[in-house]
Amino acid sequence: MTRFTGKTAIVTGSARGIGEGYARALAAEGANVVIADLNAELGEQVAKQIVADGGSAAFKSVDVSSEESAKELVEFTVEKFGKIDHLVNNAAIYGDMKLDLLLTVPWDYYKKFMSVNMDGALVVTRAVWPQMNRGGSIVNQSSTAAWLYSGFYGLAKVGVNGLTQQLAHELGGSKIRVNAIAPGPIDTEATRTVTPGNMVADMVKALPLKRMGTPEDLVGACLYLLSDDAKWVTGQILNVDGGQIFRS
């Protein structure tokens, strides 16, 4: 398929894991992809491999909590590819996340965490949307943690959901759609690092579909929401979670 031929997409946090899966899939469907991440070594590798596979990609270092860094990302993308059509706000502190309670987490760490995991999506969207030229689409990375007890990680995802819905209203007049994906438990290196094995086993037992998800399980939802197949879909949070969350 070539739904994204001639389009340019920025994917933050795409040097590995789920973000890398999104970036590779977009490139495979014809998009010019900017691999935006703090990890230059891995990010460069992903971009080079996409090009080697026949796609179009470039790496740009970005700190999504920084307005200046987000502005530089936009300038790089426009200079490199001429425009911006799609944005995936995937970057997050996760693989090395500290586990703590809202009542006891060190305040400086909490503020840094929220500046990336919640505010980062807004920072990058504010930088990108003027370049979308009255059209485009944005996908934010949420989580089913927004509907479960998950401490400050879940709180950040509640914020991402609210941000998605508010921006859908503010940007609708500019013909920009904003949606979010809420993954359930996904088998990534980061999840294996953060979540104890016994907790993972208990989560899988409770799922109607008795397995962990994979990054590949999320790709179809992301491409759908970004594409014209979803041209009348905005302000939605789509669970891709093996049936973990039931909402009426």
Q: Taking a C-beta distance cutoff of 8 angstroms, is the pair 95, 190 a contact?
A: yes
- Alpha carbon distance 160, 140 (integer Å): 7
Of 22, 94, 110, 153, which residue is the catalytic one? Answer: 153
- Alpha carbon distance 172, 39 (integer Å): 33
22 is an active site residue? no
Say what the alpha-carbon torsion angle 150, 146, 144, 164 is, to the nearest 10 degrees.
-150
Facing residues of 182 across strands? Answer: 239
Express the helix, strand and coil content of the chain in percent, nearest 5 each.
50, 15, 35
Residues with a known catalytic role: 153
